Structure 1
């Protein structure tokens, strides 16, 4: 017998049992399988890198010596031509401005991108947390309590899912903003951020809620739930101790798909002019400017576009790896 494998005789012959896996919790087994997935580990490192540069954007900006608000390129400085575009080739990229200069405004593209990533990830993370918590509460409640609770929550989910999301995102944002400030006044940045978070949250939790409802319906008839009922456990304890640990897998997997989706949705709202506006740095606003200047300065679109593609692809691959780690029988 080796240190890792114990051989046991059975009716069907010889069975090998990995001793290292005996007594491990589902979370430990998941982590063990995830570490063996090279694609998943690389994707996790890429995602972590984006979150770190977003978190450390002020520090990086201070070390770099520039900020996303100052107009460094003025016509009198010889950095922009008469049409507002960088005079130097490739969008003004050089040793002083690593990613070049923003057309017309003359701001540093590198710090604009850093703070844009920070803003987009902050909004997407807040929406993902709120949407996940809402889906957990309503989805599990509908599946476990059943009856009228299930009927009303399910119909509410159906109603929200019937909305054409993109259209209602655009339509509801100005309405939500007017709840905080007088529409005749200029909307502060924090109000716009809160409005985007609220609208994306209200219209973004239903898919996960429906998944959790279905999973809870399958679990509530299992023996361990029946045993908990017989022992006199309260519904809250059953949900917290018996049901919730068994739906962690769909929660994590779906959350890893939701966050990049919220990033792109928030960027799309800013691109359409109903999300964040000047002078707040934002990924979507950079795309909006790039769409205006791509004929004369295609370099400006390159860095935000490539970074967005890398982030979304890495997060989707991470979601696939987390799903495979929780369910080794599934194949990508």
Structure 2
């Protein structure tokens, strides 16, 4: 079909002159969503991620109305514990029953389903908050470094190298006492609230260099492009260039990297709970539930398997969504 026979309008539609046929044009985002919908594995993973986010939102509400009960101790009765505090559940598979679909927690008799659902909430709050801090910090510093260049780029690059040199886990352990005390002085309640804020801030503080390096490299390739030069010639200030011209072109890699980093934070929170730095029981997180289950790995394997499975599902689902987004946002994929 000759190009001269095509007639375009402002709505993205292309009309073939003389034939009455209209071809609808698609934006890059629409094309990416079309490619993503064709990837069944990524769509299944995306559905799992949406379910996890809904659980994270609804679990505290269900706890408040009394449907979930993650904190009450039940040390007697059928389907709970053999004989009081410190014992293992009765019945097969950790005391699974109609009253406790996933069994109960050894030693306390708390409902394991309630604790896992609320654990998803707290683990997602910590992971998403740390990811947001890393995204904001890394994106802003990456744009400034890549666009400004010169001494600013040099010193920011060396600062990123310095942050990457510190072992994150050891720093979390070494700084916990001092920083948690400072956070408490600011007004955050002591105990799990101040510990949670500390974990979020430290994970975010050590997580942004990856974003900064990715964003810097992309900005270096875009700062002399025509749309940036046009904005400069029109007198746009740097703030407008950063957030109006450059940032919209940086969202694809930011989204892809965040879907890979967020599940890593879930695993990090579990490791910190095991080391005694994260949120402590009775407040449930997937990390401290898994930490406690290690003591019962032989006496009650179900109790160990379920939180480990929950963490594995979260990590796998977000990683598959990240892979799917990477393929969908790459226009060269599948050619």
The bucket for the TM-score relative to the shorter chain is: 0.7 to 0.9
Secondary structure at the aligned position of 2:178 is classed as helix
Please list every run of 5 or more consecutive structure 2 residues that lacks an aligned counterpart in the other structure: 5-12, 15-21
Counterpart selection for 1:207 from 205, 210, 235: 210
Shift of the alpha carbon at 1:30?
1.7
1:165 aligns with 2:156: no
In structure 2, how many angstroms separate the alpha carbons of the residues matched to 1:319 and 1:120?
19
Q: Which moved more, 1:155-164 or 1:218-227?
A: 218-227
Flag the 1:80–1:220 CA change in 2: closer, same or farther, 3 A. Answer: same
| Map of 1:30 onto structure 2 | 32
Deviation per residue, 1:110-151 (Å, 9 max, x gap): 111011110000111111111101111100010001122212
- 3-state SS, counterpart of residue 134 of structure 1: helix
- C-alpha distance 62-201 of structure 1, shift in aligned 2 (>3 A): closer
Structure 1 unaligned segments of length 5 or more: list them.
Answer: 1-6, 11-17
Q: Partner residue of 2:262? A: 259
> 2:57 matched to 1:55?
yes
Given the superposition, is the C-alpha separation of residues 22 and 245 from structure 1 closer, same or farther in structure 2, using an over 3 Å criterion? farther
The equivalent residue for 1:14 is none
Per-residue deviation, 1:64: 7.3
Matched, 1:143 2:156: no
Q: Match of 1:41, SS? A: helix
Between 106-115 and 233-242, report the one with greater CA deviation: 233-242
Deviation at 1:61, TM superposition (A): 4.2
Aligned residue among 73, 96, 100 for 1:93: 96
| Corresponding position of 2:47 | 45
| 1:14-29 paired onto structure 2 within 5 Å | 23-29=25-31
**Given the two structures, how large is their TM-score scaled by the length of structure 2?**
0.87
The answer to whether the 8 Å contact 1:75/1:81 transfers is no
Aligned to 2:284: 281
Q: Distance in 1 between matches of 2:143 and 2:67?
A: 50
RMSD of aligned Cα (Å): 2.4
Is 1:315 the counterpart of 2:318 in the alignment? Answer: yes
Distance 1:21 1:321 in 2: 27
